[in-house]
Amino acid sequence: MVDSLLDKREARIRRMFGHIAPSYDLLNHLLSLNIDHYWRWRTTKLVPPLGSEPILDLCTGTGDLAFAYDRAAGGRVPIVGADFCREMLRLAEVKRNRRKADGRIRFLEADAQHLPFADNQFQITTVAFGLRNITDTERGIREMVRVTRSGGKVAILEFSQPEGSLLGGMYRFYFRRILPLVGQTISRSKDNAYRYLPESVMEFPNGAALAERLRRHGLSEVTWHPLTLGIATLYVGKKP
């Protein structure tokens, strides 16, 4: 059963997120108890925008991290949000227009494994809760590094697994029992999206293991910052 849940073919992942797009924001905030707002805000503080060079947010979904960076930059930095799910991008565009940010934030449909950008373009390249959904993780990281300018930062915000028997046990119970039940009930996902979520997190490397992957792709000064007792972690590396 786990193998089918973790089927990461592009067509399946695109279809899965397309189906849950209407309830995506609601469930993100509900299932995280609204802590996801803090995680994105903290990302902009630990990896702040500098100067006027553009920022790229991959697997942008409905654009929440792109909007967080727009706020952090005071609307003075061009931001590109890329995702390969058209339904998510439509919602991101609605939110952008509501914020009157269409001159500052651009959303486009693109696969994180084959980015339509030249080398060395962005001061910061980010991805929030999306790296583990990329079919070829190594290619996704390589593309992030490629489009980031020399001296720029790659920032990856991802779920992780809290340490300790008590906290870890409570987390796994919530993540594997409560979250899928609530998520599936509200989203009515045809692809078991909210059963896929916990399984994909449990299988994905975190902490030192993911940091080492970033180093293998040439990033320096790699650090990781556990957030909210390790429920999420922000990984940051600098392109030499």
Say which CATH number the domain at 80 has: 3.40.50.150
Q: 210 burial class (0-12, 13-18, 19+ CB within 10 angstroms)?
A: buried
Among 69, 67, 78, CA closest to 49: 69
Residue 109 structural domain? 2-238
Mean pLDDT calculated for residue range 214-239: 97
| Range from 11-25, 118-132, 176-190 carrying the lowest mean pLDDT | 176-190
Mean pLDDT calculated for residue range 170-186: 86
Q: What is the pLDDT of residue 183?
A: 87
**End-to-end alpha-carbon separation of the chain, Å?**
42
Q: What is the pLDDT of residue 2?
A: 37
CA distances from 76 to 50, 55, 72, 81, 128 (A): 10, 11, 9, 16, 22
Structural domain total, the chain = 1
pLDDT > 70? residue 49: yes
Residue 183 to residue 19: CA distance in whole angstroms = 13
pLDDT > 70? residue 45: yes
Provide the mean pLDDT of the chain. 92
Q: What is the pLDDT of residue 121?
A: 97
pLDDT > 80? residue 8: no
- Sheet of 55-58: strands edge to edge? 105-109, 79-83, 55-58, 122-128, 148-159, 232-238, 220-227
Looking at the chain, the whole-number percentage of residues with pLDDT higher than 90 is 73
Mean pLDDT calculated for residue range 2-25: 80
Q: What is the pLDDT of residue 5?
A: 59
pLDDT > 80? residue 153: yes
Residue 145 to residue 140: CA distance in whole angstroms = 9
Q: What is the pLDDT of residue 7?
A: 67
| Range from 30-39, 99-108, 188-197 carrying the lowest mean pLDDT | 188-197
pLDDT > 50? residue 3: no
